[in-house]
Chain A
Amino acid sequence: MIRLGVPSKGRLMEQTADWFAARGVSLRRTGAEREYAGEVAGVAGVELVLLSAGEIPRELAAGRIHLGVTGMDVVREQVPDWAGRIEEFGRLGFGHADLVIAVPAAWVDVETLDDLDAVAAAFRAAHGHRLRIATKYHRLVRDFLRAEGVADYQLVDSQGATEGTVKNATAEAIADITSSGETLRANHLKVLADGLVLRSEAALFRAHDADWGPADRAALDALRATLEL
């Protein structure tokens, strides 16, 4: 039996159910409303596992579920060397979010990463500590800034209300998810022109390390044909 992990609540769950339903596959919670088990109708050999969206990358990496729906951003953030363990099977066209680097709009001298890097050097010399970037996407942002050759910054952890950290003087810049940029503008921040770390959306992922028996492979082929992936 293929175990398909999908988000257990919220908008991501609804959109996932709609996406599968539009392709003739219905995902249904079985039993009580609070029970985290379900069934898959419209294709054989697949069972539903309801999980918090944030747990799905870990379950995929461990091979405890065969397939999972979650954001590209959380897979890349949570699973080291994710591409060696998880295959992105198809992008689902919802859950769009861009991970971007933003600085105060009043920094008229900063438009690009090149500027940010130069400012980080001057900031460190003037203030005695590295320029702080608030984020919860540590791996993604660090890998991005290393690849881009930005130095003299430090990441400070922010698990929520990240846009407010600059005003509160706990960070000088932020790296956060945005869909329209409105929240950033409201908090007097602007996105760097080349500061797009990742363009993310919901995707269906396949775990390399799950137990793929011959029946599971056949069920996967059937599911793939049904979903037209």
Chain B
Amino acid sequence: MSMAAKPAIRAEGQRLLDAFRAAGAVPVEADILQPAEALLDLYGEDIRARAYVTADPLRGEMMLRPDFTVPVVQMHMAGGAEPARYAYLGEVFRRQERLGARASEYLQAGFELFDRADPPAADAEVFACIHGALAPLGLRAVTGDIGILADAVRGLSTTERRKAALMRHIWRPGRFRKLLDRFGGRAAPDPRRAELIDRLAADTPEALIAAAGPLIGKRAADEIAARCAALVEDAAEPAIPAPEVATVEAILSLRAKAPAALEALRGHAAAMPALAPAVARLEARHAALAARGVDVAALDFEAAYGRTTMEYYDGFVFGLLAGDDMPPVATGGRYDALTAVLGQGRAIPAVGGVIRPGLVAALGGLR
């Protein structure tokens, strides 16, 4: 990757930080050592493969900061004023499990905006700020919106339980696909599941548990019985109608220039009214981007963009790309749900983005 020397990279970062400050952001810092627990609770066990875990003799497991978003959100939730704009510049650390040139330590310059008033305008402000700062590099801009897929799932004619299962796996395409195939009646039910349903028709869960052997461990008999009851209920549910499954699939594969994508989504909303708010949000975002001088017609839109790599984003997402052999120079998006998780009962709509100054320098810099 970058052969540019560290001082040159830091200078690029400083220029970006200055640009963010000029846009009204307050510079903030974050500890390099972050408590591992909050990150593990958010991202699950997978983050151990991507972050450096270290042991503090007194504080337990700590992680070398894999990103700034979590500590900045925690800082803001602990007493920031509203609305708030923050900027930062510092190293992040990403453990690499594959041989190759991917950096395990690099600078990140970021801009985060906490604002309840007008989400489309906030999306546009963050995108325009980052896109504008990198304009000299002529990068390809890709946008997306995980919230459209989420709204499509919420709009399915099926049980809340099935919707919750799909929502939980929005960021795991393989498992999402299996669930959708099963709920849509396209995958044959597992024969073992069918057999269990038959046995539950003849016997109580408690009797089956007792017959299967002594119950060991922390998961109690009433939890097993409750899931058995849920499985019996679910087996009687009709499949999700095929046209609705087709709409979800069409959204997953939607890739077009932004205006054409909006048109396509309007078509889907005609068939699935639950999509109407998502389409209205996208339309308002495009208008807000245009008002900030962004050429919306030139933006790529991929409805599933960032689905596998940017798991805490739940609305607008974007990436600025130099080419396939380089990681994105900048990424960002909306993460309203993350503030709710970290805010312990409080939440605030938030959107932000980060730039890798090392990649900016490798591409020739901003000067």
A168 CA to B217 CA, complexed, in Å: 7
Task: Kindly state whether residue A28 has any CB partner on chain B within 8 Å.
Answer: no
Contacting residues, chain A, for B217 (C-beta < 8 A): 104, 166-167, 169, 171-172
Chain B 213-226 interface 0/1 with A at a Cβ cutoff of 8 Å (1 = within) = 11111110101101
A118 to B226, CA, bound (A): 12
Task: Judge whether B172 and A151 touch: CB under 8 Å.
Answer: yes
Q: Which residues of A contact B186 (CB under 8 A)?
A: none
Hey, which chain A residues are within 8 Å of B28, CB to CB?
A: none
Q: Which residues of A contact B173 (CB under 8 A)?
A: 149
Say yes or no: is B98 at the interface (Cβ < 8 Å to chain A).
Answer: yes
Task: Check if A152 is an interface residue, CB within 8 A of chain B.
Answer: yes
Bound complex: CA A127 to CA B98 (Å)? 35
Looking at the assembled complex, report how far the CB atom of A200 sits from the nearest CB atom of chain B, in whole angstroms.
20
Contact, CB under 8 Å: A112 / B190: yes
Residues 82-122 of B at the A interface (beta carbon under 8 Å): 97-99
B177 to chain A, nearest CB (A): 9
Q: How far is the CA of A139 from the CA of B41 in the complex (A)?
A: 19
CB-CB under 8 A from A145, the residues of chain B are 45
| B residues in contact with A105, CB < 8 Å | 212-213
In the complex, A139→B174 CA distance in Å?
A: 20
**Residue in A80, A85, A107, A187 whose beta carbon sits within 8 Å of that of B224 in the complex:** A107
Give per-residue flags for A147-186: 1 if the beta carbon is below 8 A from chain B beta carbons, else 0: 1111111110000000000110101100000000000000
Q: How far is the CB of B227 from chain A (nearest CB, A)?
A: 5
Residue of B nearest to A83 (CB): B99
Assuming the contacts A130-B44, A145-B45, asked whether A172 and B218 have C-beta atoms less than 8 A apart, the reply is: yes
B6 interface hit (Cβ, 8 Å): no
Contact B175–A117 (Cβ < 8 Å): yes
CB contacts (< 8 Å) of B219 on chain A: these are: 104, 107, 119, 123, 172
A188 to B219, CA, bound (A): 14
What's the nearest-Cβ distance from chain A to residue B362, in Å? Answer: 24
Q: Does B271 contact A (CB under 8 A)?
A: no
A104-B219, A109-B227 as given contacts; A154 in contact with B214, CB under 8 Å: no
Docked Cα-Cα span, A164 to B126, in Å, equals 52
- Does B38 touch A at the CB level, under 8 Å? no
Instruction: Write out the residue numbers on chain A whose beta carbons fall within 8 Å of the beta carbon of B176.
Output: 149
Contact A151 B168 (CB under 8 A): yes
Interface membership of B233, Cβ < 8 A:
no
Residues of A near B190 (CB, < 8 A) are: 111-112, 114
Residues of B participating in the A interface, judged by any CB pair closer than 8 Å: 40-41, 44-46, 48-49, 97-99, 165, 168-169, 172-176, 178, 190, 192-193, 196, 205, 208-209, 212-219, 221, 223-224, 226-228, 231
With contacts A108-B205, A155-B48 known, what are 4 further pairs, Cβ within 8 A?
Answer: A84-B99, A142-B48, A148-B174, A187-B216
Q: List 12 A-B contacts (CB under 8 A).
A: A106-B221, A108-B209, A108-B212, A122-B226, A127-B218, A138-B48, A149-B173, A149-B175, A151-B44, A151-B169, A169-B217, A172-B218
Q: Which residues of A contact B (CB under 8 A)?
A: 80-81, 84-85, 104-109, 111-112, 114, 117-119, 121-123, 126-127, 130, 138-139, 142-143, 145-155, 166-167, 169, 171-172, 187-188, 193
Closest 4 CB pairs of A and B: A149-B175, A149-B172, A106-B215, A105-B213
